[in-house]
Amino acid sequence: MSFVARTLTSGRPAASDATLQQRFLAWLAVKEAAEVQIVENSYQIDQAVLDLYEVSPEDRRTIDRELGPHPGSYPRKETWSEADDEALRQLYLNSNHDLEALAHALQVHPASIAARRQALGLYRPQEFAEAVADLVSYCVGCLFGRWDIRVGAGEVEPPPLPDPE
């Protein structure tokens, strides 16, 4: 398997002198944007299926009550109070919840949570440590010839996989 892109080398900020922390925060924003897009796409698919099968509003409420609402159905939040910020801070920093779980806990659309996390500059220290460890592991792999950076940069095609015998 060839290298494609590492955590801290993708989602780069514009400045080439960006710190490791800035690169991590940029990567985290890219990751969250992808997660939000997945939630929004999933919600649109769910709504299309419910419409296709002509599920009544009453049955939709029953489905939400039994299964829980889709995180994409929560309202977007533009204005956050100090209490809201503190609730987000506590939930985000003291758990391993992803955006969907945070959306359910706060009953706020994941896009609003991601935007507010970015505005507050929140990140989990253990996630940062894992990303740095991944980068060091990758660098050591490059040093010993495990990865070919030219493949990851798109300069050359990856070698063909060996035939199974």
* Chain position carrying tokens 């300069």: 155
pLDDT exceeds 90 at position 6: no
Q: Are residues 102 and 132 in the same domain?
A: no
Q: Are residues 85 and 35 part of one domain?
A: yes
Count of structural domains within the chain: 2
Average pLDDT score, the chain: 89
Q: Which residue has the tokens 């987000």?
A: 88
pLDDT of residue 3: 46
Could you tell me the residue range of the domain that residue 150 belongs to? 125-156
> Which of 16-20, 43-47, 92-96, 153-157 ranks highest by mean pLDDT?
43-47
Residues 82 and 95 in one domain: yes
Give the model's confidence band at 50: pLDDT under 50 very low, under 70 low, under 90 confident, else very high. Answer: very high
Q: Do 102 and 147 belong to one domain?
A: no
Do both 130 and 59 map to the same domain? no
pTM exceeds 0.95: no
| Same domain (yes/no): 78, 56 | yes
Q: Is residue 2 part of a domain?
A: no
Residues 101 and 145 occupy one common structural domain = no
Query: Could you tell me if 33 and 57 lie in one domain?
Result: yes
Give one DSSP letter per residue of 1-54, joined into a string.
Answer: ------GGGSS--S-TT--HHHHHHHHHHHHHHHHHHHHHHHHHHHHHHHHHTT
Q: What is the pLDDT of residues 108-140, one digit of tens each?
A: 999 999 999 999 999 999 999 999 999 999 888
- Domain check: are 119 and 141 in the same one? no
Q: Report which of residues 162 and 9 the model is more confident about.
A: 162
- Judgement on whether residues 81 and 96 belong to the same structural domain of the protein: yes
